[in-house]
Amino acid sequence: MPEATFRSYYGQPVLKPPVWEWKIAAYLFTGGLSASSALLGAGADLTGRPALRRAGRLGALGALGASMYLLVADLGRPERFLHMLRVAKPSSPMSVGTWILVAYGPGTGVAAVAELVPRGWRKRLPGRLLRRLARPAGLSSAAVAPAVASYTAVLLSQTAVPAWHEAHRQLPFVFTGSAAAAGAGLGLVCAPVSEAAPARRLAVAGAALESVAARLVEHRSGLAGEAYRTGKAHRLRKWSECLTIGGALGALLPARRSRAAAVASGLALLAGSALQRFGIFEAGVESTKDPKYVVVPQRQRKV
Amino acid sequence: MTEEAARTDPATATGYGEHPPRVGFFTDTSVCIGCKACEVACKEWNGVPDDGFDLLGMSFDNTGTLGANSWRHVAFVEQPAPPEPRRAEAVDLGLPSFDLPGAGTGEEGRTDFRWLMSSDVCKHCTHAGCLDVCPTGALFRTEYGSVVVQPDICNGCGYCVSGCPYGVIDRREDDGRAWKCTLCYDRLRDGLEPACAKACPTDSIQFGPLDELRERARERVEHLHDSGVPEARLYGESPDDGVGGDGAFFLLLDEPEVYGLPPDPVVPTRDAPSMWKYAGMAASAFAAAAVSVFLGRGSR
């Protein structure tokens, strides 16, 4: 691409950089991890894989808890987080996301708590009730999980941030692919080899989707693609690609036999997913700091 | 209510029944003298905290940019060579001069120079990105068509900051909430004009019903074109642009980006249906993958 020439006001940015910090990038990861774990947990429940079920359900709640912390802590006024529930506003992806999480949370919580009922309590009424509720709760959480994993792409794209906005066709696929790989990674780490076949398959599918979509983001976003191909964002995403593809190859071959290989593959997939989210976040921030990402494409479409 | 009114009048589109006409600013930068009375009046009236006493090295601009603590910002652009010479050269008639040698002003040796000044402000867009994405309802559309943040509701999520295609609204560091120009909502309700327009000594900032302002702006541009200022142009006045037209629009003497304004801003919400469509496809693919990995050949 030829070096773009453009005019600006003392080289100052046109846009404000996002006020979100690393916590939102981390939430993109934990939210996806939770959703994918919930799906694996529900599937394992229906197909009689107790260890994978337990890992999925507990992973889903743990990651959801982390997500809640990250989202609330990133607010300028954390004590006002309940103001999110004042309205339901379809034009705001953050409001839509709030209600998606409200629908997702209870089922995820009940399914996970049912895993934690101590042996002595299982015969008593609350224990029996919880274990009876666990399956429908887990299924309800799994039903909402794909929305949890994908709405965050719209959350980023529906901004004036050039790198996020221009990638709005590919970003949802990066995010669900990355989520699938992360949840599968957790399954590989926690479940025995004998139960982890679905996690291994999901790892390969998720890693493939994420890697292809992530490449498309770089090349189909116009000038904004440069924000993904340069600097810190590029380094983060290169590492992400290596770890994700390495983890998927591990899941494909050695993780079928060796528990150690499965754990290593799972950790690589988790790290790859997290780095992808931080890379995309970083590219967006960078694209607001250089006025060329705003001025050049807008100037071109005006001519 | 006609469909046209619903499209161009945001108060009607929001659901206000009887309401006052949409008001806004017409900032005619060709008569701005860079006095910054607007910045001062705004701070005084609205109790906006200072944003540091910095020397930025950007001509006389030591405010820098609009933000949580600067709701008006006067830009100063020094241009050594204007786009085109405007006046005919003086013709030398060869008459004897009475000036002493060296008493000339040196004018003939100077390059032409032009100083652009422009007071920037929140655009109060017809389709406002900040308002669309606000998840708490803290941002709302007033009966005057302006866009205002309610400080008692805002929880500082920061979405509006990234939703604004002009880079206007921002979160205040020590306070955690988002702030921006209110078009002096409190003054409007008392029948007063906004503080900045009241303080402007050259009427560079004009306040009034938007229809009237648009009419006046068109006449002003024509007048300037006739007087040999062909570079005069309006910015943000058209209801057909990417934000449905600005409630605060400008007469500029150069391209918008020279003043730090985006050349063709678009409200991010415009592409929302397409975004949700792709998200839906990605979510379906995810769900399908999750189901199919359990179907397998029954291998554990």
A 224-243 residues inside an 8 A Cβ radius of B: none
- ipTM of the prediction: 0.95
Contact state of A159 with B257 under an 8 Å Cβ cutoff: no
Give the tens place of pLDDT for each residue, B135-191.
999 999 999 999 999 999 999 999 999 999 999 999 999 999 999 999 999 999 999
pTM of the model: 0.92
Task: Look at residue A220 and tell me if it is in a domain.
Answer: yes
- B1: pLDDT strictly greater than 60: no
- Token pair in block for residue A247: 């983890």
Give the domain CATH number at A211: 1.20.1630.10
- B83: pLDDT strictly greater than 50: no
Task: Look at residue A71 and tell me if it is in a domain.
Answer: yes
Task: Look at residue A10 and tell me if it is in a domain.
Answer: no
Helix/strand/coil (H, E, C) string of A220-257?
Answer: CCHHHHHHHHCHHHHHHHHHHHHHHHHHHHHHHCHHHC
Give the tens place of pLDDT for each residue, A49-76.
999 999 999 999 999 999 999 999 999 9
- A252 touches B at CB < 8 Å: no
What is the average per-residue pLDDT within B23-36? 97
pLDDT on residue A59: 97
Which tops the pLDDT comparison, A72 or B298? A72
Quickly state the pLDDT bin for B242 (edges 50, 70, 90).
very high
Task: Look at residue A16 and tell me if it is in a domain.
Answer: no
- B166 touches A at CB < 8 Å: yes
Contact state of B264 with A83 under an 8 Å Cβ cutoff: no
- A12 touches B at CB < 8 Å: yes
Q: Answer yes or no: are the C-beta atoms of A142 and A95 closer than 8 Å.
A: no
Give the tens place of pLDDT for each residue, B94-111.
666 666 666 666 666 666
B 205-264 residues inside an 8 A Cβ radius of A: 255, 257-264
Task: Look at residue A272 and tell me if it is in a domain.
Answer: yes
Task: Look at residue A8 and tell me if it is in a domain.
Answer: no
pLDDT on residue A1: 47
Give the tens place of pLDDT for each residue, B43-69.
999 999 998 888 999 999 999 999 999
- Supply the CATH classification number for the domain B3-81+111-267: 3.30.70.20
pLDDT on residue B221: 97
Nearest-CA distance from B12 to chain A in Å?
Answer: 18
Q: Identify the domain containing residue A29 by its residue range.
A: 22-302
Q: How many helices (H) and strands (E) does chain B have?
A: 9, 10
Q: Answer yes or no: are the C-beta atoms of A45 and A159 closer than 8 Å.
A: no
Residue of B79, B162, B254 to mutate, interface with A, max A Cβ within 10 Å:
B162
Task: Look at residue A78 and tell me if it is in a domain.
Answer: yes
Task: Look at residue A42 and tell me if it is in a domain.
Answer: yes
Q: Is B59 helix (H, G, I), strand (E, B) or coil?
A: coil
Nearest to A83 among B75, B155, B299 (CB): B155
Quickly state the pLDDT bin for A209 (edges 50, 70, 90).
very high
For residue B163, which of A300, A19, A135 has the smallest C-alpha distance?
Answer: A19
Which residue has 């304004």 as its token pair? B261
